[in-house]
Structure 1
Amino acid sequence: MAKERSQYQKNVISRYYENLDNIMLSKLQELVTELYLADSKAKQDRLWERVEKAMVKLKIKPAMIEHIMSQRSVTVLAKNLEDWLKASKK
């Protein structure tokens, strides 16, 4: 049997989805740092999978996602992330 959510819970969920873009951008910033510090190929592969999922949630154009994922360059990701952060503050 499904339990009804309280008004407080509904508000928390609503605010989460309202701020999902900012949350994903912050997550990408953390992932860039982790990629710079990753010491093994396996760890980098797992991090790049998380990067791809975050970009999909941000609704980045598929061509851009494909370009970044084919390059697998932290520098390219960081530069694009910088642009996305600037665009989100407007």
Structure 2
Amino acid sequence: MAEREYSRYAQKAIKRFYDNRDQIDEQRLSELVTNLYLAEGEKKSKKLWESAGELMERLNVPPSRIEHILTKRDPAILAEVVQDIQKGLIRPAPKPKPGDAPAAEK
């Protein structure tokens, strides 16, 4: 696949997005709690829970806790995770430093 050339402006915007992805994911997860409380219909609810699972993985929530939450499907339990993230009890994975090779290449 050909590598795409981005303008300097676009490169900076992309960099800012990835630099702030943890905060963006945290915000989206808290919005999902509200949406899950208000969700009507199995299909919509299922999609919201899938999104919540993906966000929790990116936010470094322990896999056992993710499994428990997705099994119970209770927005109140998900809200507790959001509170733990906001309190700093669950910390995102450290960001790789520029120049570090991904773990798969080491």
Q: Same fold (TM over 0.5)?
A: yes
Query: What is the CA distance between 1:45 and its match in structure 2?
Result: 1.0
Number of matched pairs: 88
Looking at structure 2, the residues matched to 14 and 60 of structure 1 have their Cα atoms a distance apart, in angstroms, of 24
Partner in structure 1 of residue 24 of structure 2: 23
Deviation track 1:14-66 (CA, whole Å, cap 9, x = no partner) reads 11111101000111111111100012122211110111111122222211211
Larger CA Rg, structure 1 vs 2: 2
Q: Which runs of 4+ in 1 moved over 6 A?
A: none
Q: Secondary structure at 2:88's aligned position in 1?
A: helix
Looking at structure 2, the residues matched to 51 and 3 of structure 1 have their Cα atoms a distance apart, in angstroms, of 31
Which of the two has greater helix per residue? 1
Identity of aligned residues (%): 39
Looking at structure 1, the residues matched to 57 and 88 of structure 2 have their Cα atoms a distance apart, in angstroms, of 17
Moved more, 20-29 or 53-62: 53-62
Specify every segment of 5 or more residues in structure 1 that has no aligned partner in the other structure, as ranges.
Answer: none
Query: What is the CA distance between 1:9 and its match in structure 2?
Result: 1.3
Root-mean-square deviation (CA), in Å? 1.6
Return the TM-score normalized by structure 1.
0.86
Specify every segment of 5 or more residues in structure 2 that has no aligned partner in the other structure, as ranges.
Answer: 90-106
Partner in structure 1 of residue 77 of structure 2: 76
Partner in structure 2 of residue 7 of structure 1: 8
Higher RCO, 1 vs 2 (CA within 8 Å, ≥6 residues apart): 1
